[in-house]
Amino acid sequence: MNATFTTPPRPFDVTALFPQLAPLARTATRLHPRPGSPTVHDSSVGGPLLWPADEPWPYCDEPHDSRAAPVVHSPDDVRLLRHDRAAAAERRRLDPEAPQWTPGERATWERLADRPWFNGPIPLLPVAQLYARDVSFPRPPDADLLQVLWCPFDHEMAHPRTALFWRSSATVTEVLDAPPEPPIVQREGYLPEPCLFSPEQVTEYPNPSELDRELQDQLDDMSRWETIDPARYNTYADDPGELYLNNLSTAPGWKTGGWTRWSLTDPKPRPCPECGTEQVPLLTIASWEWDGGSGTWIAEEEPTSPAPPLLGARAGNFTLIDIVGGYNLQLHVCPTSPDHPHIELLP
């Protein structure tokens, strides 16, 4: 596991003001991914998987649109580009007068811009590996390991298609040491940067749009917050509704469990495709760990000095995953049978 990260206490005990929320509390596990060197025995993002040597590696056989991206790169191309960008950022940090790009870096980028399109089956990319000993998540009774892979191309929606694999780690005696990689990826943001986790459990409450109308109105009623000094909550938000949405309900970033973090769409039913049971959040694959509206969720141990350039241009983007310009891909599973087909949401 990575270093410890601790979410600060919430600005207010929202259940003291709104007791109706108390029965709706759910536990989520914030994963706090940070760059590292994971092994097959670690819970990780973008790390190697504990994959049986005798089990075929999964491929995506569906067609991929060559018009979706004007330039494509191989995974190694992306790694080289990230290295060069980090070197350039560090050079400029040390010497503001240094050239933004060297002739060698420019030549590399021009060469990589000519990567040809590939038609054929695409090996899936490892996205996340979760061991039950580290992280709490819904799982089949005989499984202690969840592996999430995806095809690094857009499919029906503007995000990669994921595949879940459940297994008992004790049954894997010989590990595949050199899994295949895709010859190209549609977007750089679909190649995760290897990260380790620092799991931490937090309490969440539903997005306002999942509450009944009476409670929604109460949350928006300024008089309901009279016991809170307006100067205090104005530190966090322009109004009580925003305060609840961004700081008191659902945690941002990578997490398991908890409540769905709706932002793009209104809540909708999530029936299991196989049995009809309402599915629950399994894993949030996030493009960022916080943004301008959720600063109270930044871990207490987070350094205040500028982050190393490899960590990405946007604050809190440690995995370097980018989904639709900074959104989350939330995977939901059937609580009765987690090995039933899962649901992908871009909520």
pLDDT per residue over 131-190, tens digit each?
999 999 999 999 999 999 999 999 888 899 999 999 999 999 999 999 999 999 999 999
pTM listed for this prediction: 0.94
121: helix, strand or coil: coil
E strands in 20-84: 26-30, 34-35, 44-45, 59-60
Residue 128: closest CA among 345, 341, 330: 330
Q: Are 74 and 183 in contact (CB under 8 A)?
A: yes
Q: Kindly calculate the radius of gyration of the chain based on its CA atoms and give it in whole angstroms.
A: 21
- Give the pLDDT score at 240: 79
- Give the pLDDT score at 304: 61
Q: Are 191 and 47 in contact (CB under 8 A)?
A: no
- Give the pLDDT score at 312: 44
336: helix, strand or coil: coil
The answer for residues whose C-beta is within 8 angstroms of residue 337's C-beta and 6 or more apart is 140, 272, 274, 275, 277
- Give the pLDDT score at 307: 47
Number of H helices, E strands in the chain: 6, 14
331: helix, strand or coil: strand
In order along its 347 residues, the chain shows pLDDT tens digits of 677 999 999 988 999 999 999 999 999 999 999 999 999 999 999 999 999 999 999 999 999 999 988 899 999 999 999 999 999 999 999 999 999 889 999 999 899 998 999 999 999 999 999 999 999 999 999 999 999 999 999 988 889 999 999 999 999 999 999 999 999 999 999 999 999 999 999 999 999 999 999 999 999 888 888 788 777 677 777 777 888 999 999 999 999 999 999 987 789 999 999 999 999 999 999 999 998 788 899 999 987 644 444 444 356 899 999 998 889 999 999 999 999 999 999 98
Task: Report the interhelical angle of 103-112 vs 75-94 (nearest 10°).
Answer: 160
146: part of which helix (H) or strand (E)? Answer: strand 145-154
- Give the pLDDT score at 342: 97
- Give the pLDDT score at 315: 64
Distance CA 149, CA 161 (A): 8
Q: Give the angle 88-298-34 at the CA atoms, nearest 5°.
A: 50
Distance CA 53, CA 64 (A): 28
